[in-house]
Amino acid sequence: MRRRIPVAPVQASYINRPQGNSISMPPTITFTEALARNRIRLLLIVPLLVAAYYRVVPDMVQQWMQDENYSHGFLVPLIAGYFLYLRRDELGRAPVVPWNWGVAVLLFGLAQLILGWLGTEYFTMRSSLVVVLAGLVLFLFGTAPFRVMALPLGYLLFMVPIPYIVYDAVAFPLKLFVTRVSVATLKIAGVSVLREGNIIMFPATTLEVADACSGIRSLISLLALAVALAFFLRIAPWKRWVLVGGAIPIAIVTNASRVIVTGFLAQYMGARAAEGFFHEFAGLAVFGLAMLLLVSLGALLKGREQRTGSEQ
């Protein structure tokens, strides 16, 4: 009869495993450290961007100077830079993990630039700069810094003039709407007036509701201001959307009031009420009123949130 010898179970031991076989993850660096390490590479990217957009950006700035609809373009980069300045601490601490798919975004922006240049489509060329910058941030620094920079980068789109085909498609219905509302209000007030399209006819004179009176100019600028105001106010996200959306009716209503007041004056003063100094002053006054209403809406939304928080 054989005798069984007990065998001790074999236990895996990792104590004496060589340290060279262990897999160590590279330490994550912050955005500030990444800027310091890659400053040479970043400095080389700047002249490449200048070479790609050396004609696109100056042409856009020239349009800001010549077209009053986009004169706010000078302020947009400054406001976007201020947004970034306010988030500088959060951005500096953001972990950097380069995202390879950022190359796809970068290539898409470059393709957008080339196609816009081939088709002489200015909006495509100009807006590609924002896409290229977003692609560079994603590829070089990753998604965490991009989330911090998303609002400043996206805000830069307000500096790009929209295509004229889109501008006309929005301005023409607005002109007709403002004309209808103004004529209806003038008739209720007892003014003798007729309407033909966007033409308002009085017994002594005739007025045309032009693009400047349609509200499209105020609408573009007010939307940019509303987004900036929504960023600065500490309110709930849905209230920020209400504030931005509120810029649309404010622009339309204030410009309709401009046409109504001009109609009353034209009834007694003639066509000169809609020309010269009064016309320019009325435009500034209406935009000032629109800004006041927008700020008041923001204060109302913020005040209600504070009251709700205090009740809780």
The amino acid at residue 294 is L
Residues 288 and 280: beta-carbon distance below 8 Å: no
Q: How large a percentage of the chain has pLDDT more than 70?
A: 83
Residue 47 is predicted with a pLDDT of 93
What gap in Å lies between CA 125 and CA 23, rounded to an integer? Answer: 46
Q: Is the pTM of this model over 0.85?
A: no
Is the confidence at residue 83, as pLDDT, over 90? yes
Is the confidence at residue 202, as pLDDT, over 50? yes
Confidence of residue 278 (pLDDT cuts 50, 70, 90): low
What letter does residue 273 receive in the DSSP assignment? G
Among 99-108, 170-179, 233-242, 299-308, the range of highest mean pLDDT: 99-108
Confidence of residue 11 (pLDDT cuts 50, 70, 90): very low
Q: Where are the domains of the chain?
A: 29-159, 164-301
Mean pLDDT (whole number) for 112-124 = 93
